[in-house]
Every structure is written in structure tokens, then in C-alpha cells.
Amino acid sequence: MSYSLGIDIGGTFTDIVVYDHARGRQLNRKVLTTHDDPARAVAAGVEGLLRQHRLPARDFTRVVHATTLFTNALIERGGAVTGLITTAGFGDTLEIGRERKFELYDLNIVKPEPLVPRNRRVEVRERLRADGSVERRLDPREVAAGAKTLVDAGVTSIAIVFLHAYANGKHEAEAARAIARRHRGIAVTTSHEVAPEIREYERASTTVANAYIKPLARQYLDAMARRVAGLGIPAPLLLMLSSGGLTHVAEAERTPVQMLESGPAAGALAAAFFGREDSRGNLLAFDMGGTTAKLSLVDGGEPLTAYAFEAARQKRFMEGSGLPIRISTIELIEIGAGGGSIASVDEIGLLKVGPRSAGSHPGPASYGLGGTEPTVTDADFLLGYLNPDYFAGGEVRVDMAAARAALERLAGRVRLSPTDVAWGIHDVVNENMASAARVHIAERGRDPRDYALLCTGGAGPVHAWGVAHKLGLRQVICPPAAGVASALGLLVAPARVDRVATVGIRLDRDSPVALERAFRRLEDEARAVMADTGLKLESATVRRLADGRFLGQGFDLVVDLPDGPYGDGEASRERLTAAFETAYREKFALTPPDVPIEFINIRVAVRAPVSETAMGESEGGLPLGQTTGQSISEGAETGMALPLARHTDVEPGTAVKGTRAAYFRESHGFVESTVYDRARLAPGDEVRGPAVVEEEGSTLVIGPGGIARVATSGNLVVTLP
């Protein structure tokens, strides 16, 4: 017997998936996240699954984990007290930035506050030239004195950012050793290890962000590894990276900044994996959980990759309003729209939803844990989309009276009926997500109508119908166990290591051999890190990229390069030139005549896939091991059209659980809708809307006129009218 374990910790729920390789089945559990100690919820959830299904812990061969903890630490400013040691004259880099306003005409603009205030920055006299040669040697005693000043001020983590360290990391390494000798408990981050590429502000911002979360990451990842080992599971802990690859604990603790988007990346990978058979490879991955919604494009079966992003934006859709982070990441947009998003009325009487979230504690009013403010989840219960007796597979006891009371209070403020307010909350949050999707798609020059919407997350299938309508999409795809799809994405993710270096090579005068040497060095570094993940290097593939531009341009374009080796002859130079010009024309249609090409940075992405048995299907194409929920509502409706589920007389084994009233604006109110048990749907079955399809971790809503069929892949493919 052999099992794999996927753990995805979100802002509201922690999703746990066990995959049974021998039987081709998956076992799922959703538990509320314990924010004071996230590992506690993981341990309780995993232990419950092991006990319930009598799984021997010793047979687990793979454990993969993703978390939003580090992103939240940046957003909420909950990281370590951090200091910065930098080259004399560069102590204000974090404030100066790019000297660009993200909103040109806003006189009261608020830029993101640096993670390290000015009084915790120390300048030392050292200097490297742009080619890495030493102009002024570093004095380790000056570094030690500066570090002592920072430690005395309460600093527990220090970032070291020296000018031109991307070209030569010698001074930074020397400074790190000087600090380590005198202050063993202090975490140290050097820029040449985290972001070894040109551009001072972005390199400093990335290094400081890594230092800010490094002590937290070390403490958290060590605790998580101990919890897993304490359950008797011998498999090493692997971590999901923002790029969609995996790495081991030691590498994640060294550069935790690479994990900032690990949870959303897993959702995008899951979408690409599950949507491959039932689309043309073009998907809008829509992952909506309890706290946030994530949207990403999948083209040709692969999520798009970016090599920079902004964390903790002041304005969610405004580029330049956040902290620039130079890492490889799956391209996505994330907004504060989840099941726990709180609805309120602004100063001019308009209904607003999010970005504030009720989280897991106290959670939405319907959780019965003390929450009193109305949320998206409360509205979805009142609209008949969710079953109060089968929410999160029965893990959460639902208090419908509290949900009604919260919505009635808001309804009184806006002088509408509770039903209209509940629909307004549902519709507003759908519009928020559709607006974000339009921006994300338009920025990449795509047409949304060319994509199918693949929905995951606990709330994604509930809202997919409305979001797809607003975007003009014709198809929605809902995979099996959509509520825990991000955790499933962890189990299909390859090991991946990305490396970058600044080279500054011109193709008209420099030899391609120098480029080949630089690529080989990066590939060797990446393979050495990958060897520690336990996957076989002989299955690894290498992708070469470069940040190129025509000489004199002020921006770079990341392009794929042909496989090496590159020789000294004209053939290699022509291949490299053709690769860049082809990518440039795809982006801008034309290339300038007779202008030399310059490669500023080079990048490698080394990937090793998991074994072919990583994911399989059970008989009928659907995952096994899911319990059949009951759909019984208690109590009579008072003052609202709260739908009641009624079990009909159906044949044993049928997928129909009963009917209940669900609200659809196109039908002008509540409509009697058939309720299906997804676990009993078989390939070829057809579901006609209005309908609700329930499973343990999520609920798919199909509106009037919609037709869903169960594909051989197990996906529910919904065609909109």
C-alpha cells in the first residue's frame, strides 16, 4: 500500500487530501483553520482521516504542503522585526523606489510602507563595480558594529543588500559570516542568494521581504514537519512554490519568499490538470475559498508564468501600489472575495462586499461561532444554494437563525427585503470577481469568450454560474472534489527549481559560448537543489529563458530560448536572434531594423514530474472514499423564503436527493430545483437546471436553461444558455 498526502491551509479552511495509489481513490477532509497554530488543524484533520479509514501512517510516501501564511504575514505586517545592512548612500532605496506614482492625479496617495523603517537600516562603506570587481573592500568589523546596533534595537532578522551583489556575492557572504559568528540566533538573508539580478529597488524589496518572513517560516515549517512525523508518517515534507513546483523544507526555509503564492499556484495546477480533457486547453481557473478568490489563465494546458509580482497592494488592481517581489510565480490575480467576505453599506448607502473577511473565527454568522456580520456564505444559505445539514461534509454545524438575523439587520439599513439583500451580496461579489477577471484577461490581450471557466474551492462552484454569465462564457467545468482541488493540485505538481542570473550579453559582439557557460552554471545549481527532493533527476527537463531587449529600450521581454549547447559559430547566434525576434513580434507585431539584441538576465526552470501513478481514477471516473451527505433542513421559515429540502421517493442508487427552492434572478425569484448527490452521478448522466449538485466540500449551482453532463474524466461540464 502507498499513500500521498496533500495539505492546503487557507484563510478559513484547511483542506486535506489522501490519495490511495493502490485503489485509485482519494479521501478528503475540510477543517477550520486554527490561526494561532495552523499545524494544529492539520494534525487533527490528518489524524481523523487516518482513524476513520484505518490508514497505516507508515505507508505514506509523499507529503506536500501549501500555505497562505507567509502572504498574510506581509499583508498584515505580522513578520519579524527586520533590519537592513546596505552600501553607504543606499539606505533610502526602499522609499525612493521607482519615483513613480501608481495614481498620477491622487494628491493623497499612500505608498506601501517599507517593511524596514529608516531607523533600522545601517549603511557600511564597501563598493563593487557593475562587473563585480572590487572598488572598496568591505570591513567585517563595520558590519559587526552595525549588526550589534540592530540587534540591540530588537531586530531578529537582517537583510544584506550591497550594490552590484548580483555580479559578485563575495561581500554579502563575508558580511553574513561576520553576523553569524557574533549573533547565532539572528536570521540572515543575502540578496545574491534570493534575487541575484539587476535593478536595485526590486532586489532590495525582495530580499527584505524574505528576511521579514524567514524566522516565521523556519518556526512554522519545523513545527509542521514535527507534527507530520509525530503522526508516524515517515515521508519527508515537500513545499509548493509560487512557480507551481515543489521543493524541500531546507530550501523553503532559506528562501520562503518563493512560497508567497503557493496556495493559489496549487489551484491553477489543479485546474490545468483536471480541465485538460474537457477543454481545448484554454481555461480561466477560478478558485474561490473562504477568504479570497484567485483567477489565472491556462493556455495550451499550462498556467502562465510571471517572473515578478507585487505583494500587499494598497489598491488591488493598481500596479505599483504594492511591494515588488522578483520570483517566478504562476500569473494570477487575487481579490478579497470569498465565502467569508463581509457585506456592509458605505457612506453613500451602497452595498459593498469584502475585502474584509470573517475568516474561520468567528467566521460567518451561520457558523455559530460568534460572528454577527453578514457574509457571502450567509447569503448563499438564504438563497438556497447551500445545504445547512451538509456544509463542508457536515464538519460545520450551521446556525440558520444567526444567518437570517445578520441579513435582516443589513436589510433594515438599506430598506430592502432580506431576500433582495442576500441576492445583492451574491451578485456584487460575482461582479467583483468578473471585473478582476476582465482586467486580468485584457492585460494579456486575450478574449474571455475563448475560455472555459474551471471552478474550484469551497465557494467557486456556487458562484461559477453567475461569474460565467457576466463574462459571456458558454462553458463551466467543475472537477470532482472541487472543494479540495488545491490540495489535489499539490499531488500532481512537479518538483521545480528556478534560477536567475544577470549576464548583460549582446548577441552582435559577445560569444554565445559565454551564454552557454552561464546557463550550465545555473542548471547545475538547480539540479543540486532538486536532488534533495527525492525525485529522479533523469526525468528532469530544463527550460531556458532570457530577459531580452533591443539595445536602448527601457524594458525587457522574457522569452523562451532554444535548447543548448550554444557554440561559437554563427548558427547559435542566429538561433538565439530568431527566438527573441519571434517572441517580440508576437507581442508587438514589428521589430526595429538593425538594432542589436541584448540579454540582461538569463533564467532556467528545471522540472521533474511525479510518477505516472500520482493520480488515477476509480471505477466510473470519480474519486472514491467520499461520504454521501444528507439534505434535511429543520425548522419552519419565518420572514424569509428559506428553502427546505424535501426527499422524494426515488429508486435506491439514484443521484437525486430531493428538491429545494433556490433563488435565480432570471426566473424572478425562488424556483424548485433538483438536488443531486455528486458521488452517485456516473459518466454520461445529464443534469438540467435549475439544479444543485452537492458533494462533501463544495456545491455546484446550475441555473435555469443550463445543462450539465458528466464527462468520462469525472468533470461536470455545464453549458450555459
Instruction: Specify the pLDDT at position 104.
Output: 84
Query: What pLDDT does 207 receive?
Result: 97
Q: Name, in order, each residue with C-beta under 8 angstroms of 629's C-beta and a sequence gap of 6 or more.
A: 387, 389, 390, 393, 394, 677, 694, 695, 696
Query: Which pLDDT band holds residue 614 (cuts at 50, 70, 90)?
Result: very low
Amino acid in position 664:
F
Between CA 672 and CA 658 the distance in angstroms is 10
Q: Looking at the 3D structure of the chain, how many domains does it have?
A: 5
**pLDDT (tens digit, 9 = 90+) per residue, 86-131?**
999 999 999 999 878 888 888 888 888 899 999 999 999 999 999 9
What does the alpha-carbon distance between residue 615 and residue 26 come to, in Å, rounded to a whole number? 9
Q: Are 358 and 374 in contact (CB under 8 A)?
A: no
**Whether 58 and 14 share a structural domain:** yes
Q: Are residues 243 and 306 in the same domain?
A: no
C-alpha cell at 328: 517566478
Provide the pLDDT for residue 613. Answer: 46
pLDDT > 90? residue 354:
no
Please tell me the distance from the alpha carbon of residue 489 to that of residue 7, in angstroms, as a whole number: 10
- Binned at pLDDT 50, 70 and 90, residue 641 comes out as very low
Rounded Cα distance, 464 and 485, in Å: 15
Cβ–Cβ under 8 Å, residues 264 and 303: no
Asked whether residue 367 is domain-assigned, the answer is no
The arithmetic mean of pLDDT across residues 346-375, rounded, is 88
- Of 491, 523, 544, the domain-final residue: 491
Q: Which three cell numbers stand for residue 529?
A: 537543489
Residue of 452 and 637 predicted with greater confidence: 452
Please give the mean pLDDT across all residues of the chain. Answer: 87
Residues 598 and 674 reside in one and the same domain: no
Are residues 647 and 526 located together in one domain of the fold? no
Q: H-type helices in 231-261, by residue range?
A: 249-254
SS3 237: strand
Rounded Cα distance between 610 and 492, Å, is 7
Q: Hunting for cell 520562503 — which residue is that?
A: 256
205 residue type, one letter: S
679 and 564 within one domain = no
Residue 381 lies in a domain: no
**Residue ranges of E strands in 582-690:** 597-608, 656-664, 669-677, 686-688
- The pLDDT tens digits for 239-293 are 999 998 888 899 999 999 999 988 888 888 889 888 988 887 789 999 998 888 8
366 lies in some domain: no
Decide if 97 is inside a domain. Answer: yes
Nearest C-alpha neighbor of 399 from the set 381, 417, 375, 419:
381
pLDDT digits (tens, 9 = 90+) for 202-242: 999 999 999 999 999 999 999 999 999 999 999 989 999 99
Judge whether 278 and 713 are in contact, CB under 8 Å: yes
C-alpha span between 92 and 117 (Å, rounded)? 10
pLDDT at 402: 93
- Of 609, 640, 660, the position where a domain reaches its end is 609
Phi, psi of 255 (to 5 degrees): -130, 70
Asked if residue 322 lies in contact with residue 112, where contact means CB atoms within 8 angstroms, the answer is: yes
Global confidence as pTM:
0.83
Confidence at 653, pLDDT banded by 50, 70, 90: low
Separation CA 699–CA 458 (nearest Å):
8
Q: How many percent of the chain have pLDDT more than 70?
A: 93
Tell me the CATH number at 438. 3.30.420.260
Domain boundary among 576, 609, 642: 609
Question: Do 685 and 709 have their domain in common?
Answer: yes
Phi-psi region of 40 (alpha: psi -120 to 50; beta: other; left: phi over 0): alpha
Query: Residue 616 pLDDT more than 60?
Result: no
- On whether both 306 and 433 belong to a single domain, the answer is yes
**Percent helix / strand / coil, the chain, rounded to 5:** 35, 25, 40
Q: Are residues 94 and 172 in the same domain?
A: yes
Looking at per-residue pLDDT, the higher value among 273 and 317 belongs to 273
Integer-rounded Cα radius of gyration of the chain: 26
| CA dist., res. 65 & res. 7, Å (int) | 5
Say what the pLDDT of residue 321 is: 81
Whether 460 maps to a domain, the answer reads yes
pLDDT number for residue 636 = 25
Residue 411 is predicted with a pLDDT of: 93
Is the per-residue pLDDT at 660 higher than 60? yes
Residue 587's pLDDT band (cuts 50, 70, 90): confident
What span, in angstroms and rounded, lies between the C-alpha atoms of 406 and 378? Answer: 8
In what order do the strands lie in the sheet containing 691-694?
656-664, 669-677, 691-694, 699-702
Instruction: Kindly indicate the confidence band of residue 599, based on its pLDDT and cuts at 50, 70 and 90.
Output: very high
91-98's contacts with Cβ under 8 Å and 24+ in sequence apart are: 91/118, 91/121, 91/122, 91/123, 92/118, 93/161, 93/200, 93/201, 93/204, 94/121, 94/201, 94/204, 94/205, 94/208, 96/201, 97/201, 98/201, 98/320
Residues 6+ apart with CB under 8 A from 506: 551, 596, 597, 598, 599
Q: Per-residue pLDDT for 44 more than 80?
A: yes
Is residue 645 predicted with pLDDT exceeding 50?
no
Residue among 265, 277, 297 at smallest CA distance from 451: 297
Asked if residue 563 and residue 464 are part of one domain, the reply reads no
Rounded distance between C-alpha atoms, residue 405 and residue 382, angstroms? 11
pLDDT band at 317 (very low <50, low <70, confident <90, very high): low
Which residue type is seen at 46? V
Beta partners for 160? 85, 190
Distance CA 32, CA 187 (A): 31
* Residues of the domain holding 99: 78-214
Residue 66, domain CATH: 3.30.420.40
Whether 635 shows a pLDDT value over 60: the answer reads no
Cα separation, 161 vs 175, in Å, equals: 10
| φ/ψ (deg, to 5) at 374 | -70, 140
Q: How far apart are CA 701 and CA 451, in angstroms?
A: 20
Instruction: Check which CATH number belongs to the domain holding 543 and give it.
Output: 3.30.1490
Question: Nearest-CA neighbor of 288 among 358, 341, 330?
Answer: 341
Residue 441 in this model has a pLDDT that exceeds 90? no
- Would you state the pLDDT for residue 382? 95
pLDDT score of 219: 92
- Same domain for 445 and 577, yes or no, is no
* pLDDT at residue number 619: 31
678 contact partners, CB below 8 Å, separation of at least 6: 480, 622, 655, 693, 694, 695, 700, 716
Cis-peptide, bond into residue 565, ω within 30° of zero: yes
Q: How far is CA 295 from CA 263, 288, 336, 440, 702, in A?
A: 12, 9, 12, 8, 21
Instruction: State whether the Cα torsion 153-158-164-169 is positive or negative.
Output: positive
255 and 329 inside one domain: no
Looking at the domain assignment, is residue 365 inside a domain? no
Residue 73: alpha-carbon gap to chain centroid: 15
N-term to C-term CA, the chain: 46
Exposed, middle or buried: residue 389 (CB in 10 Å: 0-12, 13-18, 19+)? middle
- Whether the predicted pLDDT of 631 surpasses 70: no
Give the model's confidence band at 316: pLDDT under 50 very low, under 70 low, under 90 confident, else very high.
Answer: low
Dist CA 673 CA 689 (whole Å) = 7
Confidence of residue 489 (pLDDT cuts 50, 70, 90): confident
Report the pLDDT value the prediction gives residue 466, as an integer from 0 to 100.
96
> Any idea what DSSP says for residue 720?
P
The grid coordinates of residue 607 equal 522540472
Strands (E) in 458-596, as ranges, are 475-478, 495-506, 541-550, 557-560
Phi–psi pair at 678, nearest 5 degrees:
-60, -35
Same domain, 448 and 299: yes
CB 605 within 8 A of CB 545: yes
pLDDT in tens, 154-165: 999 999 999 999
Set of cell numbers at residue 473: 462564457
Q: Sorting pLDDT into bands at 50, 70 and 90, what band is 483?
A: confident
Assess if residue 379 is contained within a domain. Answer: no
Contact between residue 453 and residue 284 where contact means Cβ atoms under 8 Å apart? yes
The three-class DSSP label of residue 145 is helix
- Rounded Cα distance between 716 and 677, Å, is 12
CB contact at 8 A, 580 and 596:
no
Contact 676, 692 (CB under 8 A): yes
Q: What is the mean pLDDT of residues 584-606?
A: 93
- Residue 371 falls inside a structural domain: no
- Mean pLDDT over 683-702 rounds to 93
What is the C-alpha to C-alpha distance for residues 266 and 351, in angstroms, rounded to an integer?
A: 32
Give the pLDDT confidence score for residue 443 in this predicted structure: 77
